[in-house]
Amino acid sequence: MIIYDEYVTQIEGHGRVCFDIKDGKVEVRLEILEGSRLFESLLRGRRADEVPQMSSRICGVCPVPHNLAAVQALENGMGIEVSEQTKMLRRLMISSQIIVSHALHLYVLAAADYLGVKGVSELYAKFPEAVKRCLRIRSVGNRGIEIVGGRAVHPVNSIPGGFAKLPLKKDLEKLAKDYEAILNDCVETFNLFAGLKYPEFERVTEYLAIDDGKHFPAYSGRLITNRGLNVEAKEYRKHITEVFKPYSTSKFCLIKGHGFHVGAIARINLFKERLNPVAKELLKNSPIKFPSDNPFHNNLAQTLEIVHYAEEAIKIAEELSATLKDEERPKQRKGGTGVGVVEAPRGTLIHEYTVDEKGVVKEANLIIPTGMNTTNIEEDLYTLLTANIDKPKEHLKRLAEMLFRAYDPCLSCSTH
Amino acid sequence: MKPKIAIFDLTDCEGCEVQVLNSKFVDRVLAGVEFTHFRLGQRVNRWEEFDVAFIEGAAITSHELELVKKIRESSKFVVALGSCACFGGIAAINNFIGVNEAKKYVYGENADKVETLYIKPLPEIIKVDFMIRGCPIVPEDFDRLVSDLLAGRIPREHTRPVCMDCKSKGNPCFLLENVECAGPVTYGGCGAPCPSAGMPCDGCRGPLEEPQMNAELELLKKIASKDDIIRLFRKFAPMAPQFREVWGGER
């Protein structure tokens, strides 16, 4: 096995792809080497009103889903049912987060693979407009999180029952306009990535996302896959197993003993019919069709989502800028175990907490999108390297890392 | 010659690096400096003498402990970026639980196969020239430091508590409403986003240089339980010297 000293660059967190070819057969493993912060441990003994803020610290790139999966799980454990308005505000936060995170991944991390630049400095030197577009999109997305959540990185005011403070109507109105103003940037992002040449590769696998029966996946729902899994989120332990591997601090997830894929490509493959109009139109004329079994196409799926969630954010912000009203926050009714499930930029995220009658967390379990993808990435790597077995090692390493990066892995998250 | 900058991330959420991208990155940083080492942002990285090295995150493995010593040897000016580097960060809560116990809870029978150390703040491992505090940092602090360094100035510390930021936003005082708040003893300059969004300050920027801890604790004891007070200071900067001593630093 070739062990590389260096971590893979331009991904969130620390990991590497190690592989070897012996007697014409590929051996490969995905080593996730992020330090363990042991979040499940440190959240025990904390009060429910501080846990959403603390959970968000699992990830600085995608804090909102952790914040909201936590608050949803706590509410389910505490017998709290939140209002439709609260759910809409949370969908607005998720939409903004996915836009911000995808823009970061696509331009700052993934684009270099396809545009022949070494990194963000060179990208700026050669494609200044692309970098500026990225920053414009991120700036509005950040503002969307901040207006509702109080801060863009690590939102502060999500608490069981709703929000410590509601946004101002005029801020929502302006947000809708700001999103209108960057919709074209989002479309241009799709155009840029639709014109790239992706490595030819296909492997049939299982795709998982959440389904609330109505929306393109975002906030809450059942766990469903293209192979017929359709269960309540709280049943997750019966279907998703976690395995420890000695070469990785992140656990590896399996459904029925094999890998599965979550994230943008899974959501688009499963729910493209629910995309908003502009995104749907782009998909109709896209040179790459979905459902796709090429994991490199995850990048294009992300661009479709940027457009979709921007349209979604406009809808929600416009509606709430007219209808937003003060509401009483429902209070804890009981202690118990609750599961929360949301879509993070990188896929379905599950938090589970047991809370006592006083609202103190006793047990915690977190299943992270990149943790769900790990087995699938290893299976993909095996197939990809096997198909290219006669190419030079250095080429294989590049290709393998590109595949790993296309998943937009978040290793801080997956190890947590 | 553009100054050579390195950004290293140890174990953390990378949220402070995200805030670097949210700063005046393109206007100033990207145009004014050379990123010699920046794993998150580029494929090709060189290890040579750095004019300024930013270290984000907590050293939680022996590999990371070695790495920070190597960075120190190679750098003229070392900045601890964010509260994980400055004060151990959220993961250091496990210091007080017991790291082995914490590992067993997460990894069960495989706990011994995962290395997680007792977390020390970076200034207790190597000499640190400047700290940018916060969980996460605010982009303005990063911009200010970079422009100071580019101009050859030694950056100045904020000397005001979060209360000053909070008052300037016109927020009502949580302590006056009997809600525990770390604002009076916490290093200001953040713009008080938490109180402005309806939540008390939870001390994420660590203590002021000379925090009035006794006065703060006297006040808190009247309105909060011992457990709640410990929880308040044992959150995002738990290994900050004045915070970890609250209630004798007991478990």
Closest by Cβ to B13, choosing from A57, A121, A150: A57
The confidence score (pLDDT) of residue B33 equals: 86
The confidence score (pLDDT) of residue B251 equals: 64
What SS3 state is found at B50? strand
Mean pLDDT to the nearest integer, A100-123: 92
Element housing A87 (H / E): helix A84-103
| Cβ atoms of A332 and A80 closer than 8 Å | yes
Quote the CA–CA distance of B17 and A364 in Å, as a whole number: 27
B162 touches A at CB < 8 Å:
no
Chain A CB contacts of B112 under 8 Å are none
In tens, the pLDDT along A304-320 reads: 999 999 999 999 999 99
Mean pLDDT to the nearest integer, A197-205: 97
Chain A CB contacts of B18 under 8 Å are 60-61, 104, 153
Element housing A40 (H / E): helix A39-42
In tens, the pLDDT along A378-396 reads: 999 999 999 999 999 999 9
In tens, the pLDDT along B60-98 reads: 999 999 999 999 999 999 999 999 999 999 999 999 999
* C-beta atoms surrounding A9 within 10 Å: 19
Q: Taking 80 as the threshold, does the pLDDT of residue A358 lie above it?
A: yes
Cβ neighbours for B124, distance < 8 A, ≥ 6 positions apart: none
Burial code (b: 16+ CB inside 10 Å, e: under 16) for A305-335 equals bbbbbbbbbbbbbbebbeebeeeeebebeeb
As a three-state string, the secondary structure of A143-165 is HHHHHHHCCCCCCCCEECCEECC
- The tokens describing B154, both together, are 């030694």
The confidence score (pLDDT) of residue B247 equals: 86
| Cβ atoms of A352 and A73 closer than 8 Å | yes
Which of the residue ranges A30-34, A157-161, B160-164, B203-207 would you say has the lowest mean pLDDT? Answer: A30-34
Q: Which of A10, A38, A251 should one mutate to test binding to chain B, selecting the residue with the greatest count of B CBs within 10 A?
A: A38
As a three-state string, the secondary structure of A338-381 is EEEEEEECCEEEEEEEEECCCCEEEEEEEECHHHHHHHHHHHHH
Phi, psi of A390, deg, nearest 5: -85, 0
From B96, which residue of chain A is nearest by alpha-carbon distance?
Answer: A42
B3 touches A at CB < 8 Å:
no
Over chain B (251 residues), what is each successive 10-residue block's mean pLDDT? 92 95 79 87 91 97 96 98 98 97 96 95 98 97 91 90 98 97 98 98 96 97 96 97 88 64
Which of A78, A18, A9 is closest to A332 using CA atoms? A78
Chain A CB contacts of B16 under 8 Å are 60
Which of A345, A404, A414, A321 is closest to A33 using CA atoms? A414
**B198/A61 Cβ within 8 A:** no
Q: Taking 80 as the threshold, does the pLDDT of residue A293 lie above it?
A: yes
Closest by Cβ to B136, choosing from A60, A150, A412: A60
**B14/A60 Cβ within 8 A:** yes
Which of A160, A163, A140 is closest to A152 using CA atoms? A140
Closest by Cβ to B15, choosing from A50, A154, A164: A154
Q: Which of A8, A11, A36 should one mutate to test binding to chain B, selecting the residue with the greatest count of B CBs within 10 A?
A: A36
Q: How many helices (H) and strands (E) does chain A have?
A: 15, 13
In angstroms and rounded to an integer, the radius of gyration of the C-alpha atoms of chain A is: 21
* C-beta atoms surrounding B107 within 10 Å: 19
Mean pLDDT to the nearest integer, A19-39: 94
Mean pLDDT (chain A) is: 96
Cα A362 versus chain centre, distance: 27
Which of A276, A218, A231 is closest to A65 using CA atoms? A218
Which of B187, B186, B84, B68 is closest to B128 using CA atoms? B68
**A42/B97 Cβ within 8 A:** yes
Strand order across the beta sheet in which B50-56 lies: B34-38, B4-9, B50-56, B75-81, B130-132
Quote the CA–CA distance of A72 and B62 in Å, as a whole number: 37
Q: Cα dist. A274→A85, A268, B190 in Å? A: 21, 9, 40
